[in-house]
Amino acid sequence: MFEKIERETSNNERAEKALICARRVGFRYSAEGEWILKNFSFELSAGEIMAVLGPNGRGKTTLLKLLIGLVKPVEGSIRCGGRLSYVPQVSTPAFDYKVLDMVVMGRAAEIGLFAVPGARDYKYAEEALLRLGIADLAQRNYSRLSGGQRQLVLIARALVSAPCGLVLDEPTSALDFKNQDLILRTLRQLAEQGLSIVMTTHAPNHALHVASRILILEQKTEYLYGPPSEVMTHEELHRLYGLELKKLTFEHHGQELQSVVPIFS
Amino acid sequence: MKKRCLEYTGIFCCLFFSLLAAFSVGRYIIPFKEVCGILISYIAPVEPYWTDIQYRVVTLIRIPRVLGAGLAGATLAMAGAALQGILKNPLVSPQVIGVSTGAAFGGVLAILLFESSLATMGLAYAGGLLSLIAVWVLCNRGRGASPLSLVLGGIIINAFFTALISLIEYVADPYDKLPAIVVWLMGSFASLSYDKLFRSAPPLLLAGTLLWMLRFRINVLSLGSEEAQSLGIDVTRTRWLVMAVVAMVASATVAMAGVVGWIGLVVPHITRMFVGNDHKRLIPLSCFLGGMYTILVDTLARTLVEVEIPMGVLTALVGTPLFAFLMYRLMKDER
Amino acid sequence: MYLNKQKFMGKTIVLSALIGISLFAGFAFAADSVVFGDQYGREVKLDKPAQRIVTVPIPAASMVMALDGTDQHLVGMNPSAKRALLEGILGKFFPSSANINSDIVMGEGFAPNVETLLTLAPDIVFQWGDRGDDIVKPIEAAKLNLALLKYGTQEDLETWIGMFGAALGKTKRADKILDWHRSERAQLEKAVAAIPQDKRPKIVYLYRYGDSIQIGGQNSYFDYFIKMVGGVNPAENSPSESQINEEQLLTWDPDIILLNGFQSALAPDDVYANANLAGIKAIKNRHVYKMPLGGYRWDPPNQESPLMWKWLAMLAHPDTFNWDLRSDIVEAYRFLYNQEPTQEDIDGILRLPMNATAANYSKFTQSK
C-alpha cells in the first residue's frame, strides 16, 4: 500500500517535469473502426530521447501523427510543453531544391498564405544549418546529397521553427554505419541542448545507444514503456522480433556497451 | 541581389523587344518607322505621318491580339508550373485537371446554340467552373486532395467532356457550325479584340497575381501531402485554392482564344532548365517566358503564311523541338 | 476541307456512266429497268425508276427534287438540307416536303441511321464516297441500293445531275438541265475571256465570318466560280476553308466580298460595322454581298448554279454583263420546279433586305 503511493508520487513528479505527456491515449479513424492505439501513456522530459519500437503496421506512424497534432486523440490526452517538429524519412523529392530553400520551408507555418520567406526566415534557416554543422551545404542541390546529409537537412528544417522537440520517422533506416552514427550523434547532441526527441526505429541497437526511454508497441492495444534496462529484456526483444537473439554486454575503452545480435536461421 | 536585378532588367528588355517586334510585323506591311510613330503617339503627341489603315491595324488589330496572347501565355505557363508543383508531377499541364476541356465544351456548345462571342465566353467560363466542381465532388467533396485523386478526377472529367465535345461535333451542321467549332478547338488569337481582352484580362491578372503570391506555398505543397501538412500548413485547402486559380486561368484562356495547348507544359519545363525548381523563381520567370513564347508563336501563326496556322499546332511544333533540345542537353549534363 | 475535292475521275466517269446507261437500258434489261455507274465505280441496277430516294449529302436533296420536278420521290434527307429547304423557296413550292424524314443520319453528320433507312425502304440511297468507309459500310450491310457521290467541281455536279436523272428514269430532263448548265457556262466563259486581266476584280469568298474568318481557296467551287465570272481570287493558293486574319484581308484589299449563305444571320452590315476592316475597297464601295438562297444555297455547286454565275458576273463586271436575272430566275424555276415564284419570292432569293443597300444591286430589284 505504502509502496504504491510512493510510486504514484514519483510518477506525478515525472509528469510535472515532462515536456510531452500522453495520458491513456486511444485512437481510431472512425467511430466503429478498430482501435489502432489504446490506453497508452508516457512522458518525456526535456533532453530525453524516446525510441519507439514495434513491427510495421502496429501504429508507429499514427503515434507520430498524434504527437505532431495531425490527428487528435479519440480518448485521453497528449499534452505538450511546446511545438514538436516532424522529420520525415529521407526520400527522393519530385522537385529538387537548394538545401537552403528546403530548410526555409520549415518556417511555412509562420509565413502567411500569400507571403514568401523574408530575410529573418533565411537567417533562421542558416542558423539551423550552422547548428548541425552543414552550413557549407546551403547552396547545394538537395537530391545530390548523401542519405545522411539529406537526413541532416531534414532535421535542420525541423529545427527552424524553434521546436521544443523533434519527432523522427526512422531517421537511421537506409543509411550506412557511418551515416547512422552521424545521425545518432546529432540527435544526442540536440537532446543535450534540451530538446525532447521521439524516434521510431527498427534497430534495437540504436535505441540502446541513444534512448533513455523506450516505447514498445506490441499486439493490438498492449504496449511497454520504461527505461531501456527495464523494457529491453531478452524475453521482450525475442517476443518483439520473433527470432532468437542475444543481448551482449561488453567493454570498449573502459565503457560498458550493450548490443543486440540476432541469431539468423 | 545585384545579379537578380540584372537578370530582371534583361528579361524586361527581352519582353519589350518582343512586344515591339510583334507590333511591327503582320500580314499587312507597315514600315517600322510608322509603327514606332503610332506607338509613341500613345504617350506623346506626334504629327501623324501614317495612314488611317496603318493606325487601325496597329491599334485595333495588333495591340489587343499581342497583349492577349502575352497575357494568356504568361498565365498558362504560371498555372502549369503551379499545377506541376502541387501535384508533385512535372508531366501535368492545366489540361490534365479537365478544366480546359470543360471550358472548351462550354464554348463549343455556345457556338452550336448561339452566334455571339459573348455567349461563347460565358459558357466557356461556366464549363470550366462546372468541371472544377465535378473534380471537387469526385474528390470526396474536396476532402480528398491527393495528387493521385486530383489527376484521376481530372482524367475522368476530361474524358467525359471530350466525349461531349465529340457529340456536339457530331450533331453540328457540317457547313455552318462545324467549321467554326473545329477552328475554335485548335485555338487562335485571331479574333482578339479589345472587348475580348478586357473581358478576359481581369480574371487572368487576378489569377496571375494569386499564383505569384502563392509561389512559396507551392514549394511546400510540392513536398507531398504528409510532409507539407507536418510543416504546419492546411494542405487540402491550399491545394484546392491553387486548383481553383488554375481553373480560372484555363477557363479564361479558353474563353479568350479557344484551346491553346502545350504552353502550360513546355514553358515551365524550359524555365526549370534555366532556374531550377524553386517556385519562388520559377513562377515569375515562367510568367515572362510564357508570355514571350506565346507572343512569338502567335506572331508566327499570323505572319508565316496567308492563312492562320492553328495555335495548337504551332505551340507543339515550336515547343517540342526546343523541349527536345533542352532535354538532350540536360541528359548529357547528368551523365 | 469539305468542298475542295480532287478533280480526277471526273469526265471518264461521266462518259462511262452515259455509255453504261445507254448500253444496258438499251438491250440488257426490260424497258423500264435502270442501270447507272456511280462516281466510285459501282454499278447500280434498279428494276424500275426509283420511287423512294434517300439522299445523305446535303445539296443532293434539292437536286433530286429539281430533277424530279416534284418532292414526291424523296423520302429521306439530311437535316441540314431540310433546314436550307425550309429556309429557302422550296419549302414554299413544296409544302409537303416539310414532312420528309430527316432522321436518316445520326446527329447532323453523314453517319447513316440504318434503322430509319430500313423503315423508309428506299429504292436507292445516295451517300458521300469521299468521307471514309464508316459512313458507307452500314448501308451496304443493310443490303440497300447505294450510289456514292464525290463533291467539289462543276464536272462532279454535272455527273450528279446525270445520275439523279438516271435513277429517276428522267434522263431527258437531266440532259436538258445539263445543256442549260453547259451553254450558260460556255457563253460566260467566252465573254469573260475578252476581259483583260487588269479589269478583273479581286473577289474574296468568306466561307465563315465571325469569331473566325475562313476563306474559299484552292480547288474549291468558290475559287472556280470566282474565276469563271472573270474575277481574281487572292486566296487561290491557300487551302480552302482555312482561317485568315483581318490583316490578311486588308492586305488583299478585295474589290468584292462575298458572304456565305450558310450562316443565315450573317449580313453585310456585320462586315461594314467592323472598324478593323474599314478601308478595304469592298467595304468603302459597299461591295459586300450575301450569297443568295434559292432552291438551295447558291455557294456550293447545285442545280441553280448558272443563275449564281450570272448574278456574280453582273456584280463583278457591272458594265459588261447585264441580264434580266429576275426573269431568268422565273424561267429557270418554271423548268426546274414547275413553279412560278412571286416577286417577293425573288426578293427573298436575292437576299434583298440584306443586300439592298449594296452598290450595283439596284439592277436586281423589282422594276417599279
Amino acid at C201: P
Average of per-residue pLDDT across A217-232: 83
- pLDDT reported for residue A51: 94
Backbone angles phi, psi at A195, to 5 degrees: -85, 145
Domain extent for B193:
69-334
Residue B64 lies in a domain: no
**Chain A contact set for B333 (CB, 8 A):** none
Please check whether the two domains, C10-168 and C194-364, share a CATH topology.
yes
| Dist. CA A145–CA C274, nearest whole Å | 63
Using CA coordinates, name the residue in chain C closest to B302: C245
| Dist. CA C255–CA C234, nearest whole Å | 11
CB contact under 8 A, C239 and B307: yes
Instruction: Supply angle C-alpha B218, B224, B225, rounded to 5.
Output: 100
C263: left (phi over 0), alpha (psi -120 to 50) or beta: beta
CB contact under 8 A, C212 and B184: yes
Residue C366 clears pLDDT 80, i.e. is over it: no
Residue C16 clears pLDDT 80, i.e. is over it: no
Residues 6+ apart with CB under 8 A from C2: B174, B175, C151, C241
Is the torsion defined by CA of B248, B253, B258, B264 positive or negative?
negative
- pLDDT reported for residue C93: 92
Radius of gyration in angstroms for the set of CA atoms belonging to chain B, rounded to a whole number: 20
CB contact under 8 A, A109 and B90: no
Other beta carbons within 10 Å of A7: 10
> In Å, how far are B119, C73, C85, C304, C311 from C89, measured between CA atoms?
31, 18, 7, 12, 17
- pLDDT reported for residue A5: 44
Q: Where in chain C are the domains? A: 10-168, 194-364
What own/partner pairs with CB < 8 Å and gap ≥ 24 does C194-198 have?
C195/C230, C195/C317, C195/C320
Among the listed ranges A123-127, A194-198, C27-31, C215-219, which one has the minimum average pLDDT value? C27-31
Residue B50 lies in a domain: no
Q: What is the CATH number of domain C10-168?
A: 3.40.50.1980
Residues in chain A, overall count? 265
CB contact under 8 A, A93 and B222: yes
DSSP class of residue B62 equals I
| Dist. CA A18–CA A12, nearest whole Å | 10
User: How many B-C residue pairs are in contact by the CB < 8 A criterion?
Assistant: 119
Instruction: Supply angle C-alpha C204, C208, C214, rounded to 5.
Output: 65
A168-196 b/e (C-beta count within 10 Å ≥ 16 → b): bbbbbbebeeebbebbbebbeebbeeebb
- pLDDT reported for residue C8: 43
CB contact under 8 A, C251 and B29: yes
Average of per-residue pLDDT across C200-207: 96
CB contact under 8 A, C212 and B117: no
User: What is the per-residue pLDDT across A126-178, written as a single tens digit (0 to 9) for each?
Assistant: 999 999 999 999 999 998 999 999 999 999 999 998 899 999 999 998 889 99
Nearest of C189, C193, C190, C166 to residue C178 by alpha carbon:
C166
| Dist. CA C224–CA C246, nearest whole Å | 24
Instruction: Supply angle C-alpha B127, B133, B135, rounded to 5.
Output: 105
Q: Which chains touch B (3 or more CB pairs under 8 A)?
A: A, C
Burial (CB < 10 A; 0-12, 13-18, 19+), residue A116, is middle
The pairing of strands A75-80 and C124-128 is unpaired
Backbone angles phi, psi at C211, to 5 degrees: -65, -25
Q: Does A122 touch chain B (CB under 8 A)?
A: no
CB contact under 8 A, A105 and B276: no
Query: What SS3 string covers C72-109?
Result: CCEEEECHHHHHHHHHCCHHHHCHHHHHCECCCECCCC
Q: Which helix (H) or strand (E) holds A258?
A: strand A255-262
Alpha carbon of B160: minimum distance to chain A alpha carbons (Å) = 29
Residue C1 clears pLDDT 70, i.e. is over it: no
| Dist. CA C93–CA C91, nearest whole Å | 6
Residue A80 clears pLDDT 90, i.e. is over it: no
Q: Give the SS3 label for residue A85.
A: strand
Residue A6 clears pLDDT 60, i.e. is over it: no
CB-CB: which of C1, C110, C245 is closest to B308?
A: C245
Residue A121 clears pLDDT 60, i.e. is over it: yes
User: What whole-number percentage of chain A has pLDDT above 70?
Assistant: 92
Alpha carbon of B87: minimum distance to chain A alpha carbons (Å) = 9
- pLDDT reported for residue C28: 45
CB contact under 8 A, B230 and A117: no
Residue A9 clears pLDDT 60, i.e. is over it: no
Residue ranges of A 126-145 with Cβ closer than 8 A to chain B: 141
Nearest of B126, B131, B120 to residue B243 by alpha carbon:
B131
| Dist. CA C151–CA C116, nearest whole Å | 25
Which of the residue ranges A90-104, B300-314, C266-280, C354-368 has the most confident prediction, judged by mean pLDDT? C266-280
Alpha carbon of B67: minimum distance to chain C alpha carbons (Å) = 16
Using CA coordinates, name the residue in chain B closest to A90: B227
- pLDDT reported for residue B212: 96
Residue B313 lies in a domain: yes
**Model confidence, pTM:** 0.87
**Chain B contact set for A105 (CB, 8 A):** 219-220, 223, 231
- Low-confidence residues of chain B, pLDDT below 70? 1, 142, 333-335
Say what the ipTM of the complex is: 0.86
Residues 6+ apart with CB under 8 A from B84: B90, B91, B92, B93, B268
| Superfamily holding C194-364 | Nitrogenase molybdenum iron protein domain (3.40.50.1980)
- pLDDT reported for residue B333: 66
Residue ranges of A 18-77 with Cβ closer than 8 A to chain B: 68, 70
User: What is the per-residue pLDDT across C208-255, written as a single tens digit (0 to 9) for each?
Assistant: 998 889 999 998 999 999 999 999 999 999 998 889 999 999 999 999
| Dist. CA A51–CA B154, nearest whole Å | 42
Q: Does C239 touch chain B (CB under 8 A)?
A: yes
Backbone angles phi, psi at C293, to 5 degrees: -135, 105
- pLDDT reported for residue A17: 67
DSSP class of residue C244 equals E
Number of compact structural domains in chain B: 1
User: What is the per-residue pLDDT across C256-273, written as a single tens digit (0 to 9) for each?
Assistant: 999 999 888 899 999 999
Residue B8 lies in a domain: no
Burial (CB < 10 A; 0-12, 13-18, 19+), residue B94, is buried
Q: Give the SS3 label for residue C304.
A: coil
Nearest of C300, C284, C201 to residue C241 by alpha carbon:
C300
Backbone angles phi, psi at C202, to 5 degrees: -80, 120
Which residue spans within B129-190 are E strands per DSSP? none
C135-152 b/e (C-beta count within 10 Å ≥ 16 → b): bbebbeeeebbbbbbbbb
| Dist. CA B63–CA B295, nearest whole Å | 11
CATH number of the domain encompassing residue B75: 1.10.3470.10
CB B193 within 8 A of CB B118: no
Name beta bridge partners: A214.
A51, A226
